[in-house]
């Protein structure tokens, strides 16, 4: 009898900005080593995972924030095989610099902690992901709601930097 694949669901959340997208993942799968060519900042909502990072092996649990740099080799393994749920925001390097309000060149930016705890960034990410879901359901948002999306992204990027 074949072994069933672990539970896995992934939803791409396009964003109203070029070079930015969100992903919502529910998964018990092990993700082998890979890279993204974007900055990633995410929120582990449920469960936990162990992963390789540019700083070595790290462990994250529900409520922790996850981060990776463009081209950084990482993986993801659920703790005790239990499903985990996380949101990730992927930003092309120039977009993080732009929305973060920094004069630094995009290639000079480096996220130094793959797992972090920051209550204000956590709150900003929750707000941003809520707004992305709303925009995903209704792409032609009224101007005030579109401005709120922009503000949420700028708040996340500036707090991250």
pLDDT for res 141: 67
Any idea what DSSP says for residue 72?
-
Q: Is the pTM of this model over 0.85?
A: yes
pLDDT values of the chain reduced to their tens digit, one per residue, 161 residues = 665 667 899 999 888 899 999 999 999 999 999 999 999 999 999 999 999 999 999 999 999 999 999 999 999 999 988 999 999 999 999 999 999 988 888 889 999 999 999 999 999 999 999 988 888 787 776 767 778 888 999 999 999 99
Q: Which pLDDT score, from 0 to 100, does residue 134 have?
A: 83
User: What pLDDT was estimated at residue 2?
Assistant: 64
Give the three-state DSSP class for 28. coil
Locate 10 and state its tokens: 């992934």
Q: Is the dihedral of CA 90, 58, 35, 160 positive or negative?
A: positive
Predicted local confidence at residue 152, as pLDDT: 92
pLDDT at 104: 84
Ranges of beta strands (E only) in 18-155 are 20-27, 31-34, 39-46, 48-51, 58-61, 65-68, 74-78, 84-91, 115-116
């Amino acid at each position: 009898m074949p072994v069933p694949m672990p539970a896995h669901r992934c939803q791409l959340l396009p964003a109203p900005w070029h070079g930015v997208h969100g992903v919502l993942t529910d998964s018990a799968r092990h993700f082998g080593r890979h890279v993204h060519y974007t900055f990633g900042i995410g929120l582990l909502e449920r469960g936990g995972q162990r992963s390789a990072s540019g700083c070595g092996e790290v462990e994250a649990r529900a409520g922790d924030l996850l981060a990776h740099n463009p081209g950084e080799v990482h993986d993801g393994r659920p703790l005790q095989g239990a499903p985990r749920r996380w949101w990730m925001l992927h930003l092309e390097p120039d977009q993080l610099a732009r929305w973060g309000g920094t004069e630094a060149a995009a290639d000079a930016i480096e996220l130094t902690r793959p797992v972090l705890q920051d209550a204000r960034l956590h709150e900003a990410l929750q707000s941003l992901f809520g707004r992305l879901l709303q925009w995903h359901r209704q792409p032609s948002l009224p101007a005030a709601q579109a401005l709120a999306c922009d503000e949420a992204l700028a708040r996340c990027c500036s707090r991250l930097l």
